[in-house]
């Protein structure tokens, strides 16, 4: 069930109101993702002084400037490494990494998979808008095949990463995917990820109308948001029966012969129990650190 509905107003205490208005482009879905995360924190009654939020470089990484937590704005792709050191030093904190598909899967891919491998108690939220949104709309590791970007004007010929499958293989013990079109289920995913002991990874499909949408003629931010409803949605027990469904590509792909790519599954895709790194280190040292 979603977190307590009373949190709809309570989460505002986590925001730095003096930083408003924000600098996100009109139609950007990143604010929806942050809202779901803050409501999940409020639903769990988390003390803002017990939250550390770490980000690298990118549109999503700018969000740490709008929240009233202990925040750390780091170098490009290195947020999981900084967050790992922070969690080892202060294991009692709820440490949350905000990253984008370029920041987290391109220059930061190595740091991300090793944080998952170690199963350190972080929540990593990856904003997937399928493009480098802050630096001019270049090709990202998640850009679907045949789609246009600033650096692939004739269409992308490379296959896209499936971030959730990658992180599951790397050892993450909680892996989930949500979308901005469904903020209430996304809030519930965030709440479960926050409660998980170990490395939790949540990918969220969000929209970039300024670059990705404009280059591929996908319409306004609202139209891109509603288009997420055409993706196959599989949650809870349905995931056990059929995880990946075919989806016909839009735009250049369809024009080039109706290319079909694997669909995406939504909800909690993987969950297991495995020793969390900071607890394992304390046990190995005889519990010397309280």
- The fraction of the chain above a pLDDT of 90, given in percent, is 53
* Average pLDDT estimate for 156-160: 90
Give the list of residues 6+ apart from residue 187 with CB closer than 8 angstroms, or none: 2, 3, 36, 37, 39, 40, 43
What residue spans of 68-206 are helical by DSSP H? Answer: 79-89, 101-102, 109-118, 163-170, 183-195
From residue 254, alpha-carbon distances to 60, 115, 136, 216, 261 in Å are: 30, 37, 25, 12, 11
Task: Answer whether residue 245 shows pLDDT above 90.
Answer: no
3-class secondary structure, 108:
coil
> Between 79-89 and 277-284, two packed helices, what is the crossing angle to 10 degrees?
40
Q: Is residue 200 in a domain?
A: yes
Q: Is residue 240 in a domain?
A: no
Q: For residue 184, report the phi and psi dihedrals to the nearest 5 degrees.
A: -70, -50
Q: Is residue 98 in a domain?
A: yes
d(CA 113, CA 99): 13
Averaged confidence pLDDT in the chain: 84
- Which one, of 41, 60, 175, 225, lies nearest residue 127 by Cα? 60
Number of domains forming the structure of the chain? 1
Cβ neighbours around 24 below 10 Å, total: 18
d(CA 222, CA 237): 30
Q: Is residue 196 in a domain?
A: yes
Q: Is residue 1 in a domain?
A: no
Q: For residue 51, report the phi and psi dihedrals to the nearest 5 degrees.
A: -115, 130
Q: Is residue 257 in a domain?
A: no
pLDDT in tens, 210-220: 989 898 998 89
Q: Is residue 251 in a domain?
A: no
Task: Answer whether residue 177 shows pLDDT above 90.
Answer: yes
pLDDT in tens, 98-136: 999 988 999 888 999 999 999 999 999 999 999 888 888
Query: Is the pLDDT higher at 194 or at 211?
Result: 194
- Which one, of 165, 181, 146, 168, lies nearest residue 253 by Cα? 146
Read out DSSP for 203-220?
Answer: EEE---IIIIIHHTT---
3-class secondary structure, 188:
helix
Task: Answer whether residue 81 shows pLDDT above 50.
Answer: yes
Residue 13 confidence class, pLDDT cut points 50, 70, 90: confident
Q: Is residue 70 in a domain?
A: yes
pLDDT confidence of residue 287: 57
Q: What is the CATH number of the domain that holds 115?
A: 3.40.50.970
pLDDT in tens, 250-270: 443 333 333 334 467 889 999
- Look up the domain containing 176 and give its range: 7-233+265-284
- Which one, of 189, 221, 204, 174, lies nearest residue 264 by Cα? 204
**Owner of token pair 């709309």:** 137
Residue 7 confidence class, pLDDT cut points 50, 70, 90: low
d(CA 56, CA 103): 7
């Amino acid at each position: 069930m979603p977190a307590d509905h009373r949190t709809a107003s309570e989460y505002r205490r986590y925001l730095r109101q003096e930083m408003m208005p924000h600098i996100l482009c009109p139609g950007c879905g990143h604010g929806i993702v942050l809202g779901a995360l803050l409501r999940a924190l409020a639903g769990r009654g988390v003390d803002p002084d017990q939250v550390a939020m770490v980000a690298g470089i990118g549109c999503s990484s700018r969000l740490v400037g709008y929240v009233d937590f202990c925040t750390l704005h780091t170098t490009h792709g290195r947020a999981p490494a900084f967050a790992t050191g922070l969690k080892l030093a202060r294991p009692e904190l709820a440490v949350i990494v905000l990253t984008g598909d370029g920041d987290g899967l391109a220059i930061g891919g190595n740091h991300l998979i090793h944080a998952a491998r170690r199963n350190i108690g972080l929540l990593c939220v990856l904003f997937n808008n399928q493009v480098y949104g802050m630096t001019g709309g270049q090709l990202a590791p998640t850009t679907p095949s045949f789609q246009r970007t600033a650096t692939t004007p004739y269409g992308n010929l490379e296959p896209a990463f499936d971030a959730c499958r990658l992180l599951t293989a790397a050892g993450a013990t909680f892996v989930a995917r949500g979308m901005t079109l469904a903020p209430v289920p996304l809030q519930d995913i965030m709440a479960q990820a926050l409660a998980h002991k170990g490395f939790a990874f949540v990918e969220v499909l969000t929209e970039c109308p300024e670059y990705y949408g404009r280059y591929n003629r996908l319409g306004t931010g609202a139209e891109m948001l509603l288009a997420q409803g055409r993706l196959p949605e599989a949650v809870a027990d349905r995931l056990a029966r059929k995880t990946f469904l075919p989806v016909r590509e839009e735009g250049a792909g369809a024009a080039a012969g109706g290319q079909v790519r694997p669909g995406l599954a939504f909800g909690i895709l993987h969950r297991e129990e495995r020793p969390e790194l900071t607890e394992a280190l304390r046990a190995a040292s005889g519990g010397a650190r309280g």
